[in-house]
């Protein structure tokens, strides 16, 4: 990612994908700041060693407490990198807390009204999405925040068209919208110099993706942005450009390990694991597909073996009919066999639930040589 978007691009890791402080420390060491959507995520980023100036506060659901934290940090001489405003209400609320002696840098999130090449549940830049304001509403947001000379320093535009993008067309179209809005408003807003293009870079989510050239790389997205920038005079280009990848950085690094509880003679064969939607809700939530591999078959390790495989349905143990991981080609399985579910480094741990009274599972890192405990197994006493 740093190769495709090198300095001076601002690279912000989207903590909502996975906020484990140990993981965030590793990503920060690679030259990333953080994109947080709450006071809690700001706390996780700071726990990982990031300074407020390396953290942007974004997200549609910023509470009064979130905005008050941004104001306190600015008043204390440790302002956040910026706050991305989602509405006139956001702007008015933050302006009421801010001080002209410690102006807060803000971006305005604009919904570009494009058709992202992704699952409809991930298309946050579509015209009917709840995120951001229309380009026509930008002036109203600025007025609600006190105008050009109020307590907010208007720094630019924030965009995000969607996650797991399968092509660059929507990204390019949104980038053009952002560039146009910056140019139109620069005369009245002297600090309007920043364009945050968001994330959306795809990560392989199944074995077919891993071997396919059809998914655009980060370098292709970077090439398209460079092409759009070259179309502008040098003095019209944004002085600051940012991206905020999440899933693409961490998805492939995570595996969920489950143990077989039941094998039922159905059509297709049904395998029930001891891990389910509480540990990985994406398949149940919107039909996400993850690779699945058996680590043992009938009690024997599968490494080095090529046992016959058949298509089976893999479900979890939760008392919901939607608790399923989908179908996969797996060898014969029996109780206590081990199955690994891949590409769960993003939105697995982060979306954990204790539904059905299930404590959080442990999380362990492996660097190829040693295991490191990142989070201990939850206890019954830790349940709400």
Domains of the chain (ranges; CATH) run 10-250 (3.20.20.10), 254-382 (2.40.37.10)
The pLDDT tens digits of the residues spanning 21-69 come to: 999 999 999 999 999 999 999 999 999 999 999 999 999 999 999 999 9
Q: Name which of 90, 123, 93 is nearest 107 in CA terms.
A: 90
Is 366 exposed, middle or buried, given 0-12, 13-18 or 19+ CB atoms closer than 10 A?
exposed
**What is the chain's mean pLDDT, rounded?**
92
Q: Which pLDDT score is estimated for 122?
A: 63
pLDDT at 94 over 90: yes
Amino acid 123: pLDDT: 59
Q: What is the mean pLDDT of residues 88-102?
A: 94
Note the pLDDT of residue 64.
Answer: 97
Residue 303: band (very low, low, confident or very high) from pLDDT cuts 50, 70, 90 = confident
Contacts of 368 (CB under 8 A, 6+ apart): none
Catalytic residues: 319
pLDDT at 120 over 90: no
- What DSSP letter does each residue of 314-359 carry, written as one string? EE-SSSSTT-EEEEEEE----TT-EEEEES-TTTTGGG---TTT-P
Taking residues 244-250, report their average pLDDT: 93
Q: What is the pLDDT of residue 63?
A: 97
* CA gap 359, 382 in Å, rounded: 7
Confidence of residue 121 (pLDDT cuts 50, 70, 90): low
What pLDDT score does 167 carry? 86
Determine the Cα–Cα distance for residues 115 and 282; give it in Å rounded to an integer: 22
**pTM score, two decimals?**
0.91
H or E element in which residue 311 lies: strand 310-315
Q: What is the pLDDT, as a whole number, of residue 209?
A: 41
Highest mean pLDDT among 21-25, 247-251, 276-280: 276-280
Query: Which of 99-103, 167-171, 341-345, 368-372 reaches the highest mean pLDDT?
Result: 341-345
Question: Using an 8 Å Cβ cutoff, are 344 and 254 in contact?
Answer: yes
Does residue 334 have a pLDDT over 80?
A: yes
pLDDT above 90 for 180: yes
């Amino acid at each position: 990612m740093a190769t495709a978007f090198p300095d001076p691009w601002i690279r912000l890791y989207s903590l909502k994908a996975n906020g484990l402080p140990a993981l965030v420390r590793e990503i920060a060491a690679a030259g990333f700041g953080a994109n947080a959507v709450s006071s809690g995520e700001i706390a996780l980023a700071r726990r990982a060693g990031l300074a407020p100036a390396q953290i942007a506060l974004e997200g549609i659901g910023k509470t009064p407490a979130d905005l008050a934290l941004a104001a306190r940090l600015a008043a204390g001489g440790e302002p956040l990198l910026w706050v991305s405003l989602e509405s006139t209400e956001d702007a008015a609320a933050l302006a009421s807390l801010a001080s002209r002696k410690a102006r807060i840098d803000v971006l305005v999130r604009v919904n570009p009204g494009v058709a992202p090449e992704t699952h409809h549940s991930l298309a946050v830049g579509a015209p009917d999405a709840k995120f951001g304001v229309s380009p026509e509403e930008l002036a109203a947001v600025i007025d609600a925040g006190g105008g050009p000379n109020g307590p907010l320093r208007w720094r630019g535009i924030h965009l995000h068209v969607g996650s797991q993008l399968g092509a660059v067309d929507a990204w390019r179209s949104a980038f053009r919208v952002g560039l146009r809005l910056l140019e139109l408003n620069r005369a009245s807003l002297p600090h309007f110099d920043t364009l945050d293009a968001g994330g959306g870079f795809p990560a392989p989510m199944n074995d077919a993706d891993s071997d396919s050239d059809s998914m655009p790389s980060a370098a292709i997205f970077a090439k398209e942005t460079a092409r759009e920038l070259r179309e502008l005079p040098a003095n019209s280009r944004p002085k600051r450009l940012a991206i905020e990848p999440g899933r693409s950085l961490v998805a492939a690094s995570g595996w969920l390990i489950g143990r077989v509880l039941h094998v039922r003679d159905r059509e297709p064969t049904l395998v029930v694991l001891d891990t389910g939607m509480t540990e990985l809700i994406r398949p149940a939530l919107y039909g996400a597909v993850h690779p699945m591999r058996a680590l043992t078959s009938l009690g024997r390790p599968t490494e080095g073996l090529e046992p016959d495989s058949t298509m089976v349905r893999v479900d979890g143990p939760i008392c919901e009919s939607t608790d399923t991981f989908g179908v996969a080609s797996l060898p014969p399985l029996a109780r206590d066999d081990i199955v690994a579910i891949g590409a769960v480094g993003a939105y697995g741990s982060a979306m954990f639930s204790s539904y059905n009274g299930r404590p959080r599972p442990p999380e362990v890192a492996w660097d190829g040589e040693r295991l490191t405990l990142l989070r201990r197994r939850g206890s019954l006493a830790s349940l709400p």
